[in-house]
Amino acid sequence: MRALDIEGLDVDLGGRPVLRDVRLYLDRGELVGLLGPNGAGKTTLLRTVLALVRSRSGRVLVEGRPTRPGRSGIGYVPQRHEFSWDFPVSVEQAVLSGRTGRIGLFRRPGVADWRAVGDALDRVQLAGLRRRPVGELSGGQRQRVLVARALALAPSILLLDEPFTGLDMPTQELLGDLFTSLAREGRAVLMTTHDLVAAVDSCTRLVLLNGCVVADGHPTDLQDPELWTRTFGVSATSPLLKLVRAA
C-alpha cells in the first residue's frame, strides 16, 4: 500500500486552474523532491494533501484512505513566514502545539506528549533551547523548531515546504541528514525545494511540476534538457541546465 497516492488531481484557486491531472505516489522509505518554478502549484499540492485546499476532481489517499483535515499521520513543515514568531511561547511550547489535534483544545498534555516533544527536539538538536522564547531564535533555529513541531506527531508522512530557504550551510546539512535518516527509518518524505543540487544529491526521486507532472523519476533518469526547459520555462542555454548536468 502506498503511503500517499494522488490520482487525477485538479485544483482551482480563485477560479484559476493551478493543478491539472496530477498523478503522484509516495512510498515509505522515499525522500522525493518536488521541483518547479514559483507558481507551479507545489505548495498548493501539499495543502491539498493536507485537505486544507479543496480539489475540483481526483482523489488523495493516505495509506489507502481519503485524506481529511488534521490527519495525525502527516507532519507538515510550512515555510517559516507562516508561523507567528512574535507569539510569546517557548520552543517546547511551540513544538507541543504540533500535537494539539491529538491532545484536544481543552485537555492538558500528558507524559507521552512531553516525551514526544523531547524526542523531536533531540532530533533537531534544540533540546538545550527548550525554554527559550521563539522570538529570540535565529532563522535556522526557527526552521528546526518547525521540523520538530512536525516530528512531535511521529508521522508516517512528512511534507516539507522549502525547508532550506535562507539557511546557512551547517543548518542545511543538519536538516538534510535528518530528512535522509527519516526516510531510511521508513517514513515517506515529500519536499519542495529550489535547491536543485541538494535535491539531485539526496532525493531518491524527483518530480518536476508545473501545473501538471512533467516528469517523475530517479535523478539520473531526468537528464533530458527538454524536461527542465518545459518545467521551468528557461532557454536551452540557461545556467539551470548546466547546474543539472553538473549535479
**pLDDT, position 71:** 63
| Segments making up each domain of the chain, as ranges | 4-73+155-246, 87-154
Phi-psi category of 206—alpha, beta or left, where left has phi over 0 and alpha has psi -120 to 50?
beta
DSSP-H helix ranges across the chain:
42-49, 91-96, 100-103, 111-123, 139-151, 169-184, 196-202, 225-232, 239-246
Alpha helix ranges (H) inside 124-195: 139-151, 169-184
Q: What is the pLDDT of residue 86?
A: 84
Which segments in the chain show pLDDT lower than 50?
none
For cell 535556522, the residue is 140
Task: Provide the residue type at 212 as one letter.
Answer: C
Instruction: Pick 4-73+155-246's CATH classification: 3.20.20.70, 3.40.50.720, 3.40.50.300, 2.160.10.10.
Output: 3.40.50.300
- Please calculate the CA angle 187-128-31 and round it to the nearest 5 degrees: 15
> Residue holding cell 501545473?
211
- Residue 73: per-residue pLDDT: 80
Helix 111-123 / helix 139-151 crossing angle, nearest 10 deg: 140
